[in-house]
Amino acid sequence: METNDVELDAGDLKEILGKLGVSSVFGDPVKRGDISIIPVAETKICLGFGRGGGSRGKGDNEEVVDKAGSDDGCECGMNGYGGRGRVAPKGFIKFTGEKVTFEPILDITKIAFAGIALAAWAVYWITRCCTYEED
């Protein structure tokens, strides 16, 4: 069986990572006078690849012809790769003449979800306690 090696081009990986940087969320660092601001983001990337192949022989009632034109069987294979990435803003680092501070960016969606979950938990326990019957 003939094998075909798949090479991930380093250019493909550099292109993916180039799109998943802090600058895709915020832009470039900013400097105004003696204050500098550097954005901070969380980057997640997942890459995967796979290969499959096999061969099929000529059966009693089958006529199998491979790409080379022989009728003794078929060998085939497939290769593939892909990926996915995510960039989320986390905050920024602020440099002043006297100090360096990190200013986080709060995700309002997570705060709202936590409030809803707390309210649902409270309603559940209040209802359970109020409807509790002793035997």
In angstroms, what CA-CA distances link 86 with 45, 93, 103, 106?
6, 21, 21, 17
What is the model's pLDDT at position 10? 61
What is the model's pLDDT at position 128? 86
Sheet with 35-57, strands from edge to edge, namely 30-32, 35-57, 73-95, 100-104
Token pair for 50: 């796979």
What is the model's pLDDT at position 134? 63
| Domain coordinates in residue numbering, the chain | 10-105
Under 8 Å between Cβ of 89 and 26: yes
Low-confidence ranges of the chain (pLDDT < 50): 1-6, 65-67
Longest distance between any two alpha carbons in the chain, whole Å: 86
Best CA proximity match to 102, nearest among 92, 89, 112: 92
Tell me the H-state helices in the chain: 10-19, 108-130
Q: Are strands 100-104 and 35-57 parallel, antiparallel or unpaired?
A: unpaired
Q: What is the pTM of this model?
A: 0.48
Under 8 Å between Cβ of 85 and 45: yes
